[in-house]
Amino acid sequence: MRTPAEAVNLATALVQAARSIQPDVVPAADHDALVVILEALDIPFAACAGDEEIRAKILDQRLMHTLAMLRPWLDDRASGRRDDDHYAWSLAHLREQLAKHPAAGYRTDYAEVMADWAADRETATGLPDSGSDGGPMIPMVRAADHRPGCPDWCDIDDHEAWDGGDTRHHLAYAVGLSALPYEVNGSEHHESALVVLRQDAGSDPVIAVQMPPSRDEDNPANGVSMTLAEAAELRDNLTALIATGLTGDRP
């Protein structure tokens, strides 16, 4: 049985393959099949990891029906034992099955995610909007064990050791990258991509994204690859740090 991540990767590969085929070099029936495959699998990306889980389940169902059509289609096209009416029926049947699993029920717009987050936060805490629309920011709240002026989201316990007392507030989330493994004492680990929220004394918070160097010596400009799941995790970490920077509330 496929995992959701495997379904997403297979669907992505099929979409890329379908897009790469020029419509004028295949018979009309096969072109129609490519169109339906794209309809089935080229669905909008989700705006956050929670919604990506929903999207992956929908995509897995749509992929299952697409493969159920595609396997006999390829066999029949190779043998020539079916006519165009049969192929038209196959595509119509696939569309009927896809209609039972519409690409709906998950958010595709980051602005919608942030609006929902702000509404839930106001309902839970009674605090007004965080100021992402240009309104006033909510002051950061200091924890009792932080030095005066240090926001409670800062993960530095000893600023003297960290920055010589210059007070650069810092919070980082890491995403391990499967494309960059390394071994320590026989155990496999992975280099990480970091998203960092930091704030220098007297300045506004900023976000930094720190990527490890590429290992592709021939084409370093290609950067570092990550799976869709890793990219979604990186995006969610970034979303959380943006929200923390706007509100001062650590997730």
Residue 50 to residue 232: CA distance in whole angstroms: 9
Dmax (CA) of the chain: 80
Q: What pLDDT, in 10s, does the model give residues 230-249?
A: 888 888 888 888 888 888 77
The residue-averaged pLDDT of 89-117 equals 86
Least confident residue range of 40-54, 59-73, 114-128, 152-166: 114-128
End-to-end CA, the chain:
34
- Whether pTM exceeds 0.95: no
- Is it the case that residue 130 has pLDDT exceeding 50? no
Q: How far is CA 225 from CA 126, 174, 201, 229, in A?
A: 41, 15, 35, 12
Domain map (residue ranges) of the chain: 4-99, 109-134, 139-247
In degrees and rounded to multiples of 5, residue 50 shows phi and psi of -60, -45
Q: pLDDT tens digit string along 67-79?
A: 999 999 988 888 8
